[in-house]
Amino acid sequence: MSNAKLLVVGELNVDLILNEIHAFPTVGKETIAEEMNICLGSSSAIMAANSAALGVDTAFCGMVGDDYFGEFVLRELRSKSVDCAHIKTRKGQKTGCTLVMSYEQDRANVTFPGVMNALTIHDIPLGQIDSYQHLHLSSVFLQEGIRQDIEQVLIKAKTVGMTTSLDLQWDPAEQWAFDYARCLPYVDVFMPNEAELLALTGAGSVGSAIETIQPYLNTLALKMGRNGSMGIRGDEQVAVPAFEGTQFVDAIGAGDSFNAGFIRKYMAGGSLEDCLREGNLMGAVNTTAAGGTGAFCDRQKLSENIQAFWGLELNLI
């Protein structure tokens, strides 16, 4: 039996990142990229890897194909101390891949979901789930199997005494087929960004979007990019400003790192404000190095950077 305390259920893929591309891709032509990197992709994996980097015992439940990219994902997660016992390898299937074409500030992405859609409630270790304290679900619209089972997954987790968090992420199909009235009562912490909350509710403003979901809500942790984050729990409403960065590289994965910081504090029993502050801090840390996990490699270095950039002591054991 695993002694992990955080269980992350989600999608897995590699990011194939092309930088310094000479021209925009055109059908029938060829262009050159000066730089290429292959790294661990997927929001859920970044959240899990960074939680483990912050000292949280973390296990991942997901699926890869029996191919080179699947082996790569497993190797990367293991190297970041994420327990991979609940990652299944599907024979004859392909691991997901995102081709990221990076142009200065912006990126054009093409995602091949591969085996992401195949994960269902039956793959989640629900029998052993009571050995975990917290379940984090992410990227629901990229995982058709999980999207269909989500209410049952959440109910089961609550039944065995776990706390739960959910980051839906963007819906590429823009259908937003998530029944928030039924599901949110089983979500302890709902973690969208502003654009996702507006799209989900169809509301014209963040205020009315919050009013729409409020009857079903436990805690809302709303991510607002450079404006920081806002928390709502019952009558309590707290806004926490972002940590200004002097060392900005890119914001890839900032939301996932926010989730890792927030949930670490939440699992330790922190106040809503403390959870938001640690989320913001890890979101800001994320922006100081390339990609979603670059800033979270070494715990000693992480603490030193937080001290150097923001004068804060972070006690990571």
CB 10 within 8 A of CB 42: yes
* Cβ distance to Mg ion smaller for residue 8 or 129: 8
The rounded distance, in Å, linking the Cα atoms of 70 and 79 is 14
Burial of 216 (0-12, 13-18, 19+ CB in 10 A): middle
**Which window, 65-73, 109-117, 153-161, 222-230, contacts ligand ATP (CB under 6 A)?**
222-230
Burial of 266 (0-12, 13-18, 19+ CB in 10 A): buried
Rg (CA), the chain: 19
Q: Find the helix or strand (DSSP H, E) in which 63 lies.
A: strand 58-65
For ligand ATP (CB under 6 A), the number of binding residues is 21
Q: Looking at 156, 223, 264, 265, which residue binds ligand ATP (CB under 6 A)?
A: 223
Place of tokens 């890119």: 250
Per CB under 6 A, contacts with ligand ATP among 157-216 are 193
Per CB under 6 A, contacts with ligand ATP among 270-289 are 280, 283-284, 287
* Cβ distance to ligand ATP smaller for residue 224 or 289: 224
Binding mask 244-273 for Mg ion (x = CB under 5 A): -----------x------------------
Which entry of Mg ion, ligand ATP, none binds 243, CB below 5 to 8 A by partner kind? ligand ATP
| Residue 256 CB neighbour total at 10 angstroms | 30
Rule CB under 6 A: say whether 44 interacts with ligand ATP. no
CB 47 within 8 A of CB 138: yes
CB within 8 Å of 167: residues ≥ 6 apart: 43, 47, 136, 137, 138, 139, 191, 192, 255, 256, 259
Q: Looking at 251, 289, 290, 297, which residue binds ligand ATP (CB under 6 A)?
A: 251
Q: What is the DSSP letter of 241?
A: P
**Which window, 88-96, 147-155, 242-250, 293-301, contacts ligand ATP (CB under 6 A)?**
242-250
* Cβ distance to ligand ATP smaller for residue 132 or 262: 262
Q: Looking at 254, 267, 275, 295, which residue binds ligand ATP (CB under 6 A)?
A: 254
Instruction: Report which residue's Cβ sits closest to ligand ATP.
Output: 283
Which entry of ligand ATP, Mg ion, none binds 287, CB below 5 to 8 A by partner kind? ligand ATP
Per CB under 6 A, contacts with ligand ATP among 120-159 are none
Q: Residues in the chain, how many?
A: 317
- Copy the structure tokens of residue 252: 């890839």
Nearest-10 crossing angle of helices 43-53, 254-267: 50
Binding site for Mg ion (CB under 5 A): 255
Binding site for ligand ATP (CB under 6 A): 193, 223-226, 228-229, 242-243, 245, 248, 251, 253-256, 258, 280, 283-284, 287
